[in-house]
Chain A
Amino acid sequence: MTPNQLPTTNDHRLVAIRAENISKRYSLQKQKTFKEFLPALIGRKETRVQFDALSHLDFELEKGESLGILGKNGSGKSTLLKVIAGVTKPSDGRITVEGRIAPLIELGAGFHPELTGRENVYLNGSILGIKRKEMEKLYPSIVTFSELEEFMDQPIKFYSSGMYMRLAFAVAVAETPDILLVDEILAVGDQKFQKKCLNRMAEFKTRGSTMVMVSHSPDMVRKYCTKGLVLQNGKQLYFGDIKEAADMYEKMMEG
């Protein structure tokens, strides 16, 4: 592993993520094709359904902090992760994110079944914004971490789903990211490998990476996060200390 390339990570006043009054409104088109859309438009039927996935979120996360996002299903957790990842723009407000993001959201999103493990590693690296030269240095550690030494030159369509996930995870965590996004509990491989993943995430924390984790489990976020954000129906119920957030979430789930 190379040491984090950013010399500024020790400066704790630096903001990693700043959300200023962000909202995400989905305006869903009811009709999927012209054939359905045109008659609806002419007949002045409703063509759009509006839906607020996030409304007026306001929080700030400093470099090195870790945020746990808590909320029931459909409360906007995954949408918020997408907004932070820059995949979708907020419809209102502003989000500022500083640094390289490693999304551990859907692992292996860029993998192609016909390509070999090695080819996929390089391809996925470039999707994550890692330069080829950097990848060449990281490659041995990726192979070791994934424990797939003998399979790297086989097309990954022959991989088992566990092997697939291991390789994807190994690429995603190969380089210390500035910001790590984690969705739900990582169910990757057997217990031994899961422990390895969690260790690697703890390692990132000590190196100064900022982490954002979405979870249903209050215990998990208590263990790994310093800040908590509780969402309900897209609204921000609480942002602040993780203990308060986790307690609040537990109460919410009971009530």
Chain B
Amino acid sequence: MSKIKKLVTNSRLFWDYRELLWNLANREITQRYKQSALGYAWVILNPLFQLIVMSFVFDKILHVASLGVPFIIFLSVALLPWNFFTQSLGSSSMSLVGNSNLITKIYFPREILVFSTIIAKMVDFGYSCLVLIAFLIIFRIPLTIYYLWIPVILVIQLLLTGGIALFVAAFNLFYRDIQYLLNLIILLWMYMTPIMYPIEIIPPQYRFVMSLNPMAVIVNAYRQVILSNNNPNFYSLTIAALVSTLIFILGFITFKKLEGQFADYV
């Protein structure tokens, strides 16, 4: 009973501070490219060059199969959401440590710092998707009813991202090793996720590894609904959704348990 009451007070407090969530996200977006000549265009230029170079390597040099669509489209459908995922985790790991002046001075629900940085990265992700939209138009990829799955997949991705981000942000406050460990894990994770190659080329006996990786399921689902004109694999998407929700809940509980100590350790 008291747990439910606590959840209600916590949610109300979070609601009271919703403006802070937007303002902090806005602060992160507006300050980042101030005093740079091209400004926010970097958000588009960065993934664009990344896509061009990677397609050259994996398509022209390594001849990786790409589901019968131009490789650069095949790659961007997976790489852009992946970038959103890793950039969110990267900046979340610094979101508490980098705002130590706020944490030691003023009380507000600390998860706002984590969520606001994810929101800022989601705005970047939105802009970078302009590149993808341009490719979809250039290569005449048809718009289908299956695109309606995209918001569903995005929500699952957000739950997974938010859950891991809460863990990473909280633990990095106690041990700064987490941020370096995170870089390593993300790099390895990228190779274990079908981003630069289709899931179909993995030998069947190793496929199960991919179903344990929620990001593999998410990335593959984007490809299925955008490029293959198909429903996503409902079974693995459900499992990914459950795993992501569980990670989010665990991350949130852990974060809230540690919150009272943040100011003492940061």
Which A positions have Cβ atoms within 8 angstroms of B?
A: 26, 29, 32-35, 37, 82, 85-89, 101, 103, 105-106, 109-110, 112, 114-115, 119, 122-123, 126-129, 131-132, 155
The residue from B34, B106, B176, B261 contacting A109, defined by CB atoms under 8 A apart: B106
A123 to B108 Cα, complex, angstroms: 13
> B170-207 interface mask toward A, CB cutoff 8 Å, 1 = contact, 0 = none?
00001111000000000000000000000000000000
> B5-32 interface mask toward A, CB cutoff 8 Å, 1 = contact, 0 = none?
0000000000011011001100100110
B3 within 8 A of A: no
Distance in Å from the Cβ of A81 to the closest Cβ of chain B? 10
Which of B96-104, B154-162, B223-231, B234-242 forms part of the interface with chain A? B96-104
A103 to B35 Cα, complex, angstroms: 32
Tell whether, in the assembled complex, residue B31 and residue A115 are in contact, meaning their CB atoms are under 8 Å apart: yes
B60 contact set on A, CB distance < 8 A: none
Question: Known contacts being A109-B105, A114-B35, is A87 close to B263, with CB within 8 Å?
Answer: yes
Tell whether, in the assembled complex, residue B104 and residue A82 are in contact, meaning their CB atoms are under 8 Å apart: yes
A155 to B177 Cα, complex, angstroms: 34
A129 contact set on B, CB distance < 8 A: 16-17, 20, 108
The residue from B19, B20, B27, B263 contacting A115, defined by CB atoms under 8 A apart: B27
Q: Residue among B23, B24, B176 with the most chain A CB within 10 A?
A: B23
Give 14 A-B pairs besides A88-B264, A101-B107 with Cβ atoms closer than 8 angstroms. A26-B264, A32-B175, A34-B177, A85-B107, A86-B107, A87-B103, A87-B106, A112-B31, A114-B30, A115-B31, A119-B27, A126-B20, A127-B106, A129-B16
A89 contact set on B, CB distance < 8 A: 260-261
* Interface class of chain B by DSSP: helix
A106 contact set on B, CB distance < 8 A: 101, 105
A122 to B27 Cα, complex, angstroms: 11
6 A-B contact pairs sorted by A residue (CB < 8 Å): A29-B174, A32-B176, A35-B177, A88-B260, A103-B105, A110-B102
A89 to B259 Cα, complex, angstroms: 9
B20 contact set on A, CB distance < 8 A: 126-127, 129
Which B positions have Cβ atoms within 8 angstroms of A?
A: 16-17, 19-20, 23-24, 27, 30-31, 34-35, 101-108, 174-177, 260-261, 263-265
Q: Residue among B16, B106, B175, B260 with the most chain A CB within 10 A?
A: B106
Tell whether, in the assembled complex, residue B176 and residue A33 are in contact, meaning their CB atoms are under 8 Å apart: yes
Q: Who on chain A is nearest to B20 by CB?
A: A126
Distance in Å from the Cβ of B182 to the closest Cβ of chain A? 14
Q: Who on chain A is nearest to B181 by CB?
A: A34
A106 to B174 Cα, complex, angstroms: 23
Q: Who on chain A is nearest to B31 by CB?
A: A114
The residue from A32, A34, A109, A114 contacting B101, defined by CB atoms under 8 A apart: A109
Q: Who on chain B is nearest to A133 by CB?
A: B19
Question: Known contacts being A87-B104, A88-B260, A127-B108, is A34 close to B19, with CB within 8 Å?
Answer: no
A89 to B256 Cα, complex, angstroms: 12
Distance in Å from the Cβ of A178 to the closest Cβ of chain B? 14
Q: Who on chain A is nearest to B177 by CB?
A: A34
A145 to B20 Cα, complex, angstroms: 24
Distance in Å from the Cβ of B228 to the closest Cβ of chain A? 44
Tell whether, in the assembled complex, residue B177 and residue A33 are in contact, meaning their CB atoms are under 8 Å apart: yes
Distance in Å from the Cβ of A157 to the closest Cβ of chain B? 10
Q: Who on chain B is nearest to A25 by CB?
A: B264
Distance in Å from the Cβ of B263 to the closest Cβ of chain A? 4
Distance in Å from the Cβ of A154 to the closest Cβ of chain B? 12
Tell whether, in the assembled complex, residue A123 and residue B27 are in contact, meaning their CB atoms are under 8 Å apart: yes
A85 to B103 Cα, complex, angstroms: 11
B260 contact set on A, CB distance < 8 A: 88-89
Q: Who on chain B is nearest to A131 by CB?
A: B19
Tell whether, in the assembled complex, residue A115 and residue B106 are in contact, meaning their CB atoms are under 8 Å apart: no
Q: Who on chain A is nearest to B33 by CB?
A: A114
A33 to B171 Cα, complex, angstroms: 12
Question: Known contacts being A88-B263, A88-B264, A115-B31, is A128 close to B106, with CB within 8 Å?
Answer: yes
Q: Who on chain B is nearest to A27 by CB?
A: B264
A37 to B30 Cα, complex, angstroms: 39
Q: Who on chain A is nearest to B19 by CB?
A: A126
Distance in Å from the Cβ of B124 to the closest Cβ of chain A? 17
A88 to B263 Cα, complex, angstroms: 6
A84 to B153 Cα, complex, angstroms: 43
A132 contact set on B, CB distance < 8 A: 19
A127 to B113 Cα, complex, angstroms: 11
Distance in Å from the Cβ of A24 to the closest Cβ of chain B? 9
